[in-house]
A and B are shown apart, each in its own frame.
Chain A
Amino acid sequence: MNDLSLMTIAGIRDGLATKAFSATELCQTYLANMESARELNAYVCETPDRALAMAAESDRRIAAGEARALEGVPLGVKDLFCTEGVHSQAASHILDGFKPAYESTVTANLWAAGAVMLGKLNMDEFAMGSSSETSYYGPVVNPWRSRGSNAPLVPGGSSGGSAAAVAARLCAGATATDTGGSIRQPAAFTGTVGIKPTYGRCSRWGIVAFASSFDQAGPIARDVRDAATLLRSMASVDPKDTTSAEVPVPDYEAAIGKSVKGLRVGIPKEYRIDDLPAEVEGLWENGKEWLRDAGAEIEEISLPHTKYALPAYYIIAPAEASSNLARYDGVRYGLRVPGEDVIAMYENTRAAGFGKEVKRRVLIGTYALSAGYYDAYYLRALKVRTLIKRDFDIVFDAGIDVILTPATPTAAFGVAEKTLASPIEMYLNDIFTVTVNMAGLPGIAVPAGLTADGLPLALQLIAKPFDEEMLFRAGHVVEAAAGRFSPDRWW
């Protein structure tokens, strides 16, 4: 193979083992790709020296016969993950100059498995957004364009840098996080595979917190197998995170290729929303057909509280964010803007350091938690969350193995197209993904086709807690039937 960056992680593993190429050559290929793709604005910080040093160590290990699970695999890391001594700013101005003295558990796991860090990836500020346009570093550009058009499109968000980089072959895989759809929606917009595992599967230690009861790390990858390989190394039981689940991490790759014969696939009727584009409806029909052809049984199910998920999310997530983001006070790290007293210093620092969307959410959260409104907004939303979770419990208890839905209501939209509209318009992007975060369940987005304009669309699969294996198993069936999609290079 001439272009090393076209290879999947499985291919890299084989190529390195047979000495078809070295980890250093592979790393250099990616560094060159990154350099020639800066107009996509996928990286906020490139770490070529570290990458080459890690690749050299991988080559040494391979020569010594000591290769680890991800030996020499070049990865990008979302800027939300703390990486020791390296830019970790959640794409926010308020964390200006912040270089952590520690490494997040997820990235530490990846480096311990031999992966190579290429740099930090752009994202929506503090992971708040669905288009990667709220970054202090400017919007990420999707490597995909509509057929016959040069107009820049968003890669989705908040993990838009991760998704764009994987799709444009600026890394072999990437870490991402998902609070309301931030792995699955950008994966859907870029023709990549993204899995949000069960809440508690990946440690949150060292990941900048947005909404702690939803935040969950996961990979974005070129295909289902690579996603399984990455998740196995990212996930762990971590004593440093009290919400880390005491569940052993299985070999996810082993689930790929297992038959789906006899599995019961639920189709939630509430996801058939008004205005669902015919192309998305058609994609969903194809998904049912592919799983049926593979021997699964397709059944209609009901998740009656679906329509309340987004409104409840937009109370609970901002409430948690307003509390988590209280730490940015200009005292311990990041930006400080002086004021006449300490309160004015806080207010000036936070006014200058937070972007518009972050301010919006901190204010909504503060309001929802404030005296007199707590019960009406926050407590009510938590009760609705119980009902949403119960909807899923009921269908899984009735024997449904996996749920199939569209991943997003549309394909990628234009840069700046939705930023001037009401914030709600942007929030509606997560209508199919946010329910999964509300219930703490695992969900995967798998590319399933292209629109008439040539833009990728994806299907989402949802499983029971800690049944990520089911997602890889069924996801692989979708992938095998749909094929894989990559953008033509124009950058």
Chain B
Amino acid sequence: MPVDKDTVKRVAHLARIAVSDAEAETLQADLNAILGFVEKLDEIDVTDVEPMTSAIGMSMKMRADTVTDGDQAAKVVANAPAGSDHFFVVPKVVE
């Protein structure tokens, strides 16, 4: 089922990407081309087929619940576009 421009804008907002009207139009065409391409999957009967959730059959590894790292606040925030002391600075979120 093809998507309309409003759906593109709604999904873009969900993905936190600002899109202009012109971009939304291009993206609408692109998404519909891709969705049309994947429609092929509807041909297959997948009743009783388990979804594949791991590329190679392996069970989740466990490790000891111990501290292996830490005290590196300066390194953690070193790449932040805005920071103060050892904090990330963001626009005000609570009035």
Task: Using CB atoms and an 8 Å cutoff, list the residues of chain A in contact with chain B.
Answer: 97-101, 198-200, 213-214, 239, 242-243, 245-246, 305, 307-308, 310-312, 314-315, 322, 326, 329-336, 338-348, 350-351, 354, 359-360, 362-364, 366-367, 370, 377, 379-387, 389, 422-424, 427, 437, 439-440, 465
Contact = CB atoms under 8 A, between A and B. Distances in A.
B61 A311 contact: no
Interface in B50-90: 50-56, 58, 60-61, 63, 72, 75-82, 88, 90
Nearest to B62: A242
Contact of A199 (B55, B90, B92): B55
Nearest to B15: A366
A245 B63 contact: no
A332 B80 contact: yes
Q: Which of B39, B53, B56 has the most CB of A within 10 A?
A: B56
B17 A334 contact: no
Interface of B: 3, 7-8, 11-19, 27, 30-31, 33-35, 37-44, 46, 49-56, 58, 60-61, 63, 72, 75-82, 88, 90-93
A179 B43 CA distance: 25
B55 A366 contact: no
A214 B17 CA distance: 25
A338 B18 CA distance: 12
B18 A348 contact: yes
A366 B58 contact: no
Contacts of B33: 422-424
A457 B6 CA distance: 44
Given A331-B81, A383-B49, 12 more contacts: A308-B41, A314-B34, A331-B90, A334-B81, A336-B82, A350-B18, A360-B31, A366-B14, A370-B11, A384-B49, A386-B49, A424-B33
Given A311-B41, A386-B50, A351 B17 contact: yes
Contacts of B78: 99, 101
Nearest to B8: A363
Given A342-B91, A360-B27, A381-B41, A389 B52 contact: yes
Given A200-B58, A245-B58, A311-B38, A360 B30 contact: yes
Q: Which of A348, A354, A440 has the most CB of B within 10 A?
A: A440
Given A363-B12, A380-B46, A382-B51, A307 B80 contact: no
18 contacts: A97-B79, A101-B75, A242-B60, A308-B40, A311-B37, A314-B34, A330-B81, A332-B77, A332-B79, A333-B80, A351-B19, A360-B31, A363-B27, A363-B31, A367-B3, A387-B46, A422-B30, A423-B33
A348 B76 CA distance: 24
Nearest to A200: B56
Nearest to A352: B18
SS class, residues of chain B in contact with chain A = loop
Nearest to A422: B33
B46 A383 contact: yes
Nearest to B36: A424
A308 B52 CA distance: 15
B35 to A, nearest CB: 8
Nearest to A353: B17
B55 A239 contact: no
B51 A379 contact: yes
A308 to B, nearest CB: 6
B56 A198 contact: yes
B75 to A, nearest CB: 4
A363 B27 CA distance: 9
Query: Considering the complex of A and B, which 3 residue pairs feature the smallest CB-CB distances, nearest first?
Result: A440-B55, A382-B51, A333-B79
B38 to A, nearest CB: 4
Contacts of A437: 55
Contact of B52 (A330, A351, A386): A386
B90 A347 contact: no
Nearest to B53: A382
A451 B55 CA distance: 35
Nearest to A382: B51
Q: Which of B37, B54, B55, B76 has the most CB of A within 10 A?
A: B55
Contacts of A100: 79
Contact of A333 (B11, B56, B81, B90): B81
Contact of B31 (A200, A367, A383, A384): A367
A239 B41 CA distance: 37
